[in-house]
Amino acid sequence: MFKRLSDWLDDRTGYRHLLEEALDEPVKGGARWRYVFGSAVTTAFMIQLVTGVLLMTSYSPSSSTAWGSVYFISYEMVGGWFVRGLHHFGAQAMVVLLFLHLLQVLIAGAYRSPREVNWWLGMVLLFITLAFSLTGYLLPWDQKGYWATKVATNIMGITPVVGPYVQKVVVGGNEYGNQTLTRFYGIHVGVLPGLLVLTLAAHIAVFRRHGVTAPEKATGSDPFWPKQVFMDTVASLAVLGVVAFFAIAERGAPLDAPAEPSSSDYPARPEWYFLSLFQMLKRPEFAGENEIIGAIIVPGAIVTALFAFPLLDKIFPRKLGHFLACSLVFALVGVAGLLTMQAWKEDAANADFQVTRAKADVARKRALFLAGHPEAGVPPEGSRYVLLNDPLYAGSSVLERKCLSCHYYDGKGVLERGHDGKMVMTKQIAADLKGFGTRPWLEGLLANPSDAKYFGSTPQLSGMAQWKKTTKLKPDELKTVTDFVAEFAKVGDEETIDDWLSRNEISEHPGLELFKKDCGRCHTVDAEGILGEGGEVEAPNLFGWGSPRWVRRMIRHPNAADRYGYLEEKDQMPGFGQTELSDREMSVLIRLFSGQYVPDDPATAAAGH
Amino acid sequence: MDGSSLTPTSPGTDRRTFHKIASVVFGSILGLVLTIPGAAFVLSPVLKRSGSSGDSGADDGFRPIAKLSDLEEGIPRVFPILGKSTDAWVRYPEEPIGSVWVIRKGKEVTAYSAECPHLGCAVGLGPDGNSFYCPCHTSSFGFDGQAKNKIPPRGMDSLEVKLAASPSGDDPEILVKFLRFRTAVPEKTPLV
């Protein structure tokens, strides 16, 4: 039955002849392990094809969704981390194997007549593969891919005449964003696979025409099936084994924090096999106007030389040509190796790099933690906002950039480079903002207003210290007043004083009278003086103290009459308008003070970062 | 296929057989290492249950949709269901995630999912104003939820309703437990 069916199929398709053609292809000089590299590269490509198509079913190429979808693949989907890990390390395996294949062909002299065309096809395959890795690196739209791609496309832009146009077309404009991603994605999953399959088919066809380049003394011959197939399969399995090992050992592929175009100190590094080129550009020989030499001319010359290898025989005696070709490649490998080592060493010895990388790791861990947290997640605005909306991460960053030159947070200012070049902590001249507006902060203030944490370090702010000396409140009364003042933090944005006072819990609060008698001597709250007439010593209006609206006004208009307008101008806090502090920054700051955020990941907190 | 015209470098059928078997075995392992995780990856939505969209709102799943006084006797009204939802990696804040038809008879309130039990289109009011009607394949239902033609496999999917007394007393809040059901089958089966 099976025989009849296959006979029929063969009659209609001629598949047996095709199969025999493929499998009985003679391997001149016998099957050899050294012939496995071509197949190994092909296997690596097959791994990329399978895992790539799988990833395509879950990846979403846009600047707002890419990172989130890659997060989802890596951390939420079943087997996602493994599929992505295989793709990530498979890509590197492909580059390595391609290079080994190239070396084997070079040493065997297989690039020479009559196989010139196949050498050139191989070169084309090498560039397609490098283009794959360059475009793929960007797709997660994480910090690493974003900055590395920015550098790579800017190098592209150095090319004389066409450079800027090519760059603009590839990037999809001047800004890196949705169009960059969709273009890179289209190139990565459509253009390059098509080109690679066509070129690979041609490469194999031409290879079959000329066969392997057997060693001179080799005699006999094996059919391709089964001995060479066996060797090729063993090699392929080894490739997959190594790739799977790395995928498992590294628990998938790395994912950095979402791309943040406003980062000021992200230490971008290319994939390791581009490190030698990267290091070369750092050399003084290629600085400034000479950049083009390092970025375009040297790599271009190397490529041209590689392409010209088959033609060396036309100029030099056969052996000398081969010797020159091999020498050049080994010299290149040596130099590239040295440069790569240098790049690693420099980074390892560079304290600034370590600091910025550690900072980037804090962002990465926080982003991954938040993306998977039930109370956070990736917001609809886009993956960037995982961090931008996070009070702990973005709020701390706003603090550092805008507040800590005067204020402290949790006992610390920021490190600044002093006159002698050493890093010194800024001097505290305003309150410590950790927990500002919360009940513990208030308790601390009322217990010891002249502590550096509160108003002790702020010039002129002595009112509360005077109060502390003169107040007649007993401890239990002080607690009641504290309870009452803590109520201010719950004042809503739309609430008026009358609305608030008509709330039962306020009008019947035992602290109301105490507040009026003691705090109301200086702090005015309402025009009618229900909560005290104020005026003894100048003081800010406390209505809503600690609520978002109070803090917002304090930051935007610190010098208003109801805030600290009474201070001498030189000691006033500068106001932060919309241009200095966006609404989003304001919101994360307020939520940071009031503690409304997802706490630090216990795992990373325990690691003491 | 036996390569007799060639001079094999390693004579002996034993070795040939080994090469053949080993090639097939190794090749299969290679394939399996790719296809098993690949299949798991594609089947992720089936293998993982937590990936459902729409959270359950309050702990018991009941969500407020309207006041009893919003409904006139016997006249159905459609209300959006508000809820937080998760769409793969995106977490949405509270916004409409579905619609329900609500109809009142005295103090009794009935709610129907506005998703047609036939193939999931949105059910609206019929042109006569006296029935529910799906614009996709003309499924028709009475205000009692029963199918009025043969197109839908079952009547409209009723949802659990609770009336919660309001602080002021006589105008209770209508709470509905919103669920989605399998379409195109006679039984009403909740999707989990």
Sequence spans of domains, chain A: 28-259, 269-349, 354-430+600-606, 439-572
Structure tokens, A569: 């101008």
Give yes or no for a contact between A42 and A207, defined as CB atoms under 8 angstroms apart. Answer: no
Of B23, B26, B88, the CB nearest to A72: B88
Taking the C-alpha atoms of residue A412 and residue A166, their distance in angstroms, rounded to an integer, is 48
Contacts of B9 in chain A (CB under 8 A): 30-31, 220-222, 227
pLDDT value of position A608: 44
Residue A556, amino acid: R
d(CA A381, CA A388): 11
Alpha carbons B64 and A367: distance in angstroms, whole number: 34
- Report residue B172: phi and psi, to 5°: -70, 160
Q: Tokens standing for A177? A: 């964003």
Nearest to A156 by CA among A332, A304, A339, A291: A291
Q: What's the rounded Cα separation, in Å, for the pair A311 and A539?
A: 88
Q: How many CB atoms lie within 10 A of CB A283?
A: 12
For residue A108, give the nearest of A38, A206, A204, A35 by alpha carbon: A35
Interface touch B16/A68, C-beta < 8 Å: no
Q: Across the interface, do A226 and B30 touch by the CB < 8 Å criterion?
A: no
pLDDT at A271: 87
**Domain spanning B62-177: CATH 3.30.1330.20:** no
> Measured between CB atoms, does B29 come within 8 Å of chain A?
yes
Residue of chain B minimizing CA distance to A60: B89
- Tell me what pLDDT residue A573 has: 93
Chain B residues lying within 8 Å of A233, measured CB to CB:
22-23, 26-27, 30
**Phi and psi for B133 in degrees, rounded to 5?**
-150, 135
d(CA A489, CA A542): 10
Q: What is the pTM of this model?
A: 0.88
Q: Across the interface, do B40 and A78 touch by the CB < 8 Å criterion?
A: yes
B10–chain A Cβ distance below 8 A for any pair? yes
What's the ipTM?
Answer: 0.83
CB-based contact B89 A237, cutoff 8 Å: no
CA distance B97 to A317: 77
Per-residue pLDDT of chain B (192 residues; tens, 9 = 90+): 444 445 555 567 788 899 999 999 999 999 999 999 999 999 999 888 654 444 544 557 889 899 988 999 999 999 999 888 889 999 999 889 899 999 998 888 999 999 999 999 999 999 888 999 999 999 999 999 999 999 999 999 999 999 888 766 678 899 999 999 999 999 999 987
How does DSSP classify residue A295?
I
pLDDT at position B5:
46
Tokens linked to B32: 């399996």
DSSP 8-state symbol, A391: I
Angle between helices A351-371 and A66-75 (to 10 degrees): 80
A residues 221-250 closer than 8 Å to B (CB) = 221-223, 225-227, 229-230, 233-234, 236-237, 240, 244
Could you give the angle at which helices A36-56 and A192-210 cross, rounded to 10 degrees? 160
Do the beta carbons of residue A66 and residue A139 sit within 8 Å? yes
Residue B132's H or E segment, with its range, is strand B132-133
> For residue B63, which phi and psi values (nearest 5 degrees)?
-125, 140
CA distance A380 to chain B (A): 6
DSSP state at residue A400: I
Q: How confident is the model at residue B3, as a pLDDT?
A: 42
Q: In this predicted structure, what is the pLDDT of residue B54?
A: 46
> Per residue in A557-609, pLDDT tens?
999 988 998 888 888 999 999 999 999 999 999 999 999 999 988 876 655 44
Task: Determine how β-strand B90-105 pairs with β-strand B77-87.
Answer: antiparallel
Architecture of domain A28-259: Up-down Bundle (1.20)
Q: What is the DSSP letter of A437?
A: T
Beta partners for B99? B80
Domain ranges of chain B: 1-48, 62-177
Which residues in chain A land under pLDDT 70? 604-609
Q: Which of B2, B18, B91, B94 to mutate against chain A (most A CBs within 10 Å)?
A: B91
Contact B101, B112 (CB under 8 A): yes
- Using CA coordinates, name the residue in chain A closest to B92: A380
Bridge partners (DSSP) listed for residue B122? B115
